[in-house]
């Protein structure tokens, strides 16, 4: 899309702005660089765009505000073992990420899923197999009917413009909670759907546009893909960690990547684009913004982004999540025929999985999601640890009282990111401005998991967005 007349007029003020930013860079001892493509953000989207463009012969410069790469994926150590304290799982239909793992020599291992899962609801603890918890027959029938309706509506969406689908605007006018209340009379079936939403989207069902929730289901291949372990999004993890792939991509980029520099201003003209960060500036032919929509709102962009892009940047916040891992001497629950997978509608941690290690260390991984994360975020880490251990005792008895290690990451407090897993629009936003998410603006191209129409919200979506944006740039003439 070429700059429109309004932007062309504001091009007149570029000289003034350029003067002041040159002074800024000089004042801060910053260096200037000239490249084909500047990329902001070294999460999987930015790293994929950068490595793809480099292989296509383009000179790139990547700038990342944090002192690490990987964005919403992050390394941590649990009882001496490397683990992921951000994004972790990969599913069999997430082919772009699986291919990346192969390219960088990071193999996958299947998520442990043998034995019985546990389901806790209204004070009752029951064992079950598979991904859908056991409800009484009448409640199960309502849950199954609601899930089928969701699948059918999701599959019928227009993949290019979900809001233009039949009933698109009506579905966008309500939250998923309003839809559940209108369509699912059984409280137990509603509580199960609310739990699925909290765990899959990491927001309350009242905070998400139902149309957006459906689009997410469509773009991921169905509800079973989103909620499933074997064959679904929780099918496997990467040996040594998903974050390891990001670090290997960064190593390939070498000094094309600079970390610890936050981009604060972008100035676009007819001839080039200038990216001003706290360590200097980059002049480029094209720019990739590989950051979540809410991070766009924190950069001074001149001329301003189109109204719909600004609207979505202001109204598509990240969800709320605190992720934890807890280690035991051994996975003692396995000896009792339990998989370690828990679904619990009654407690602050709604979902837990086994993350035990090959050398015999027992480990559980789980999340505080949505409003539970908000409440967990104001606790200290030791208070969160106590909450998690109390819950584990409920499922596994006194043996769970003595872990050998506990770590967690409050993503709401994560420097420069401020939430996870992904950005979620409330009612009304997606149908009004969803089209702006990946619409280039002059020399600016938008990547990031939120811009993907396949597996948005996941690392798969981030990787695909990086590939798409690289193709857009290779096709662009100047
Ligand atoms: C706890 C948690 C668990 C998750 N679990 C999974 C999972 O199991 N499987 C899965 O597939 N996905 C999972 N996800 C989601 C997944 O991690 C994200 O979808 C994906 O990592 C997003 O990648 P991205 O490149 O689009 O954005 P990001 O990873 O957010 O990268 C954007 C980067 O831009 C940088 N940046 C922002 N603004 C600026 C600026 N002004 N200047 C310079 N740099 C800037 C940020 O610091 C960041 O590094 C999880 C996420 C979380 C938080």
The parent domain of residue 210 ranges over: 137-223
Answer yes or no: is the C-beta of 294 below 6 A from any ligand 1 atom. Answer: no
- Closest atom of ligand 1 to 460 CA is 11
Indicate whether 183 and 155 sit together in one domain. yes
pLDDT tens for 304-324 read: 999 999 999 999 999 999 999
Atom 26, ligand 1: residue with shortest CA distance = 448
Output the domain CATH number for residue 386: 3.90.660.10
Output the domain CATH number for residue 56: 3.50.50.60
Q: Would you state the torsion angle of the CA atoms of residues 167, 169, 173, 177, taken in this order, to the nearest 10 degrees?
A: 40
pTM score: 0.93
Answer yes or no: is the C-beta of 42 below 6 A from any ligand 1 atom. Answer: yes
List the alpha helices (DSSP H) in 156-281. 168-172, 176-183, 187-201, 210-220, 223-227, 243-253
Query: Do the domain assignments include residue 132?
Result: no
Measured in angstroms, how far is the CA atom of residue 318 from the centroid of ligand 1? 10
What is the spatial distance between Cα 243 and Cα 43, in angstroms, rounded to a whole number?
Answer: 10
Answer yes or no: is the C-beta of 350 below 6 A from any ligand 1 atom. Answer: no
Indicate whether 63 and 84 sit together in one domain. no
Which of left, alpha, beta for 123 (phi over 0: left; psi -120 to 50: alpha)? left
pLDDT band at 4 (very low <50, low <70, confident <90, very high): very low
Query: Do the domain assignments include residue 51?
Result: yes
Query: Do the domain assignments include residue 314?
Result: no
pLDDT tens for 325-384 read: 999 999 999 999 999 999 999 999 999 999 999 999 999 999 999 999 999 999 999 999
Measured in angstroms, how far is the CA atom of residue 43 from the centroid of ligand 1? 5
Mutate which of 459, 460, 464 for ligand 1 pocket (most atoms within 8 A of beta carbon): 459
Output the domain CATH number for residue 156: 1.10.405.10
Indicate whether 344 and 380 sit together in one domain. yes
Indicate whether 384 and 409 sit together in one domain. yes
Indicate whether 325 and 408 sit together in one domain. yes
Q: How many structural domains are present in the chain? A: 3
Query: Do the domain assignments include residue 393?
Result: yes
Confidence check: pLDDT of 18 > 70: no
Measured in angstroms, how far is the CA atom of residue 138 from the centroid of ligand 1? 40
Q: According to the model, what pLDDT value does residue 135 have?
A: 87
What is the spatial distance between Cα 298 and Cα 418, in angstroms, rounded to a whole number?
Answer: 13
Answer yes or no: is the C-beta of 327 below 6 A from any ligand 1 atom. Answer: no
- Closest atom of ligand 1 to 48 CA is 25
Indicate whether 191 and 175 sit together in one domain. yes
Query: Do the domain assignments include residue 404?
Result: yes
Atom 5, ligand 1: residue with shortest CA distance = 87
Which of 396, 83, 59 minimizes the C-alpha distance to 255? 59
């Amino acid at each position: 899309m070429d700059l429109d007349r309004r932007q062309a007029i504001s091009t007149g003020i570029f000289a003034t702005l350029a003067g002041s930013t040159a002074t800024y860079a000089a004042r801060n001892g910053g260096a200037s660089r000239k490249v084909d493509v500047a990329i902001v953000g070294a999460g999987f989207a930015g790293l994929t765009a950068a490595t793809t463009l480099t292989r296509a012969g383009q000179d790139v410069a990547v700038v990342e505000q944090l002192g690490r790469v990987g964005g919403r994926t992050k390394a941590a150590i649990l009882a001496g073992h490397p683990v992921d304290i951000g994004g972790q799982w990969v599913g069999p239909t997430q082919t772009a990420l699986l291919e990346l793992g192969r390219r960088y020599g990071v193999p996958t291992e299947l998520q442990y899923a043998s034995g019985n899962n546990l389901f806790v609801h209204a004070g009752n603890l029951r064992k079950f197999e598979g991904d859908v918890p056991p409800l009484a027959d009448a409640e199960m029938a309502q849950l199954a009917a609601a899930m089928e309706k969701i699948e059918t509506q999701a599959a019928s969406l227009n993949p290019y413009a979900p809001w233009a689908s039949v009933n698109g605007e009506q579905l966008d006018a309500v939250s998923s909670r309003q839809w559940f209340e209108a369509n699912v009379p059984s409280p137990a079936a509603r509580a199960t759907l609310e739990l699925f939403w909290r765990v899959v989207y990491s927001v309350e069902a009242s905070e998400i546009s139902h149309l957006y929730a459906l689009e997410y289901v469509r773009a991921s291949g169905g509800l079973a893909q989103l909620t499933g372990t074997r064959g679904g999004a929780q099918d496997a993890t990467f040996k040594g960690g998903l974050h390891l792939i990001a670090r290997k991509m960064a190593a390939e980029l070498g000094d094309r990547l600079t970390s610890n520099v936050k981009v604060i201003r972008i100035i676009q003209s007819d001839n080039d684009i200038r990216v001003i960060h706290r360590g200097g500036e980059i002049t480029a032919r094209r720019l990739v913004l590989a950051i979540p929509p809410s991070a766009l709102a924190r950069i001074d962009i001149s001329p301003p982004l189109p109204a719909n892009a600004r609207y979505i940047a202001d109204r598509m916040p990240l969800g709320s999540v605190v992720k934890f891992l807890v280690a035991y001497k051994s996975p003692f629950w396995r000896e009792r025929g339990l998989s370690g997978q828990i679904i619990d509608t009654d407690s602050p941690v709604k979902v837990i999985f086994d993350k035990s290690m090959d050398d015999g260390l027992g480990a559980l991984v789980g999340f505080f999601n949505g409003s539970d994360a908000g409440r967990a975020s104001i606790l200290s880490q030791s208070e969160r640890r106590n909450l998690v251990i109390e819950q584990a005792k409920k499922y596994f008895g006194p043996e769970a009282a003595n872990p050998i290690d506990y770590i967690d990451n409050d993503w709401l407090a994560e420097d420069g990111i401020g939430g996870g897993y992904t950005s979620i629009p409330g009612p009304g936003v997606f149908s009004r401005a969803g089209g702006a998410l990946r619409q280039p603006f002059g020399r600016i191209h938008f990547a990031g998991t939120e811009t993907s129409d396949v597996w948005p919200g996941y690392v798969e979506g981030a990787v695909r967005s990086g590939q798409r944006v690289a193709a857009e740039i290779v096709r662009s003439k100047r």
